[in-house]
Amino acid sequence: FCGRKVRAYNATIARGPCGDQIKAILAEGRSPKCYWGTAPTGRLSHIGYFVPLTKISDFLRADVEVCHDLGHIHAFLDNMKAPLELVAHRTKYYQFILLAVFKSLGIPVTKLRFVEGSSYQLTREYNMDNYKLCATVSEHDAKKAGAEVVKQVESPLLSGLLYPGLQALDEQYLGVDFQFGGVDQRKIFTFAELYLPRLGYKKRAHLMNAMVPGLAGGKMSSSDPNSKIDFLDSPELVRKKVKAAFCEEGNTEDNGLLAFAEAVLFPAGQLRQDHIKEASGASVEYPQSFVSENAPEGTLFSIERDEKFGGSLHYSTFADLKADFASKAIHPKDLKVSVGSAINKLLDPIRAEFQANEEWQKIEKLAYPDPNAKDAKKKKKEKVYHPPPPGKGKNAQPAPPPDGNATTTEAVSEAVV
């Protein structure tokens, strides 16, 4: 069992400098506690998040207690990316997305705990430790630690310098053994390892997952719609985006489709096989299969092709798929069709969950209001009647002459004479 846990940590992880700490915890026979955090600034929307979520699925299956910190205050401090009035709605949206993804992968979430950062970051003790950090950390170190995570601007705000310190303190106040994040978190992890011991707290271990390239090359980013596929994109839109993805024949570098197959599709396929072996006839919901009919046993991913082009290809390892693409045995079009189909199979249960959940749909509208939506027509101002002054208005009568008989003109003339 311990060996299985070690494999869960090692697979597809870019190792941090403290891996031995985790092995020591496993040797003690206890379940480690993991901290994975997100700041609800954007939508947590694109499929690049399948990479850390697939790894967290491994942790959960290895009996790790995973604490997902929804960083309200982190989101606000990051150059005010998220207005405070929207953060609460976005936090709820994140929970819906994450639970739907784990369900689509067939992962039990009994050991997954959601924590709102503000529930402990506003306490007296936490703030005192934050002040102690501020009295210890140089501006240079704080800025360097957040360089790849905090939004960089020409005139940075003080809030961005606080961000790395808060993320380091979270490890202590959540009571975890290790923190997990993308390789873009490396500098913050190094910062935490350096400064937590200076406050008298133990140094935690850190594990990192690789970042998946975008569809056009480079990093998959929520701010670039051409680089990503969203969890709720329609099947037609997914196929359109995959068709337009950069996928040069024989080129395995900066290939977002191959990278996604390695980081998500093959692990998800293995996860499905493990589920089937472990279920022992029990009624469970398996992840979708990316294998064509009549594929050999042990196949995790299939490239479906017409017989006139050589027929379908079946792979039990990503290395074989990558080698065939590099040798041009697989045409980019065939890879795109098969990867696009697999992505849609992953997303089908998530889209179905969204369509069936009215609360989730309502939260999405509150969390991410349409910036182009026209404001409702302003209510017309009610007219208030103001009576005209005496002798004015269309129904006003001329004043009677002074003597009661002569007209006004005659009375004036007599007065002049």
Q: What's the mean pLDDT in 42-59?
A: 83
Please check the confidence at residue 337 and state whether its pLDDT lies above 60.
Answer: yes
pLDDT in tens, 3-50: 555 555 554 444 445 667 888 888 888 889 999 998 887 776 788 888
Please check the confidence at residue 133 and state whether its pLDDT lies above 90.
Answer: yes
Residues 6+ away with beta carbon under 8 Å from 207 = 9, 13, 14, 15, 16, 19, 22, 178, 179, 180
Please check the confidence at residue 1 and state whether its pLDDT lies above 50.
Answer: no
Kindly compute the dihedral angle of the four CA atoms of residues 48, 212, 39, 139, in this order, to the nearest 10 degrees.
-170
Predicted pLDDT at 16: 46
**Phi, psi dihedrals of residue 184, rounded to the nearest 5°:** -70, -10
**Phi, psi dihedrals of residue 181, rounded to the nearest 5°:** -170, 180
Structure tokens at 141: 């170190």
pTM over 0.85: no
Q: How far apart are CA 344 and CA 324, in angstroms?
A: 23
Predicted pLDDT at 153: 72
Predicted pLDDT at 353: 95
Please check the confidence at residue 224 and state whether its pLDDT lies above 80.
Answer: no
Strand partners, 208: 14, 181
* pLDDT above 70 coverage of the chain, percent: 79
Considering only residues 227 and 188, tell me which one the structure prediction assigns the higher pLDDT.
Answer: 188
Please check the confidence at residue 303 and state whether its pLDDT lies above 80.
Answer: yes
Q: How far is CA 225 from the centre of its chain?
A: 14
Rg (CA), the chain: 32
Q: What's the mean pLDDT in 271-288?
A: 65
What are the start-end ranges of the E strands in 228-361? 301-303, 313-315
Contacts 24+ apart (CB under 8 A), 150-153: 150/78, 150/79, 151/78, 151/79, 151/81, 153/79
Please check the confidence at residue 321 and state whether its pLDDT lies above 60.
Answer: yes
The per-residue pLDDT of the chain, averaged, comes to: 83
Please check the confidence at residue 415 and state whether its pLDDT lies above 50.
Answer: no
* 207-221, 229-243, 249-263: least confidently modelled range: 207-221
Please check the confidence at residue 375 and state whether its pLDDT lies above 60.
Answer: no
pLDDT in tens, 153-167: 777 788 889 999 999
Please check the confidence at residue 2 and state whether its pLDDT lies above 50.
Answer: no
Pairing relationship of beta strands 13-14 and 205-209 according to DSSP bridges? antiparallel
Predicted pLDDT at 14: 43
Contact between residue 232 and residue 45 where contact means Cβ atoms under 8 Å apart: yes
pLDDT in tens, 62-105: 889 999 998 878 877 775 556 777 888 888 998 899 899 888 88
Predicted pLDDT at 162: 92
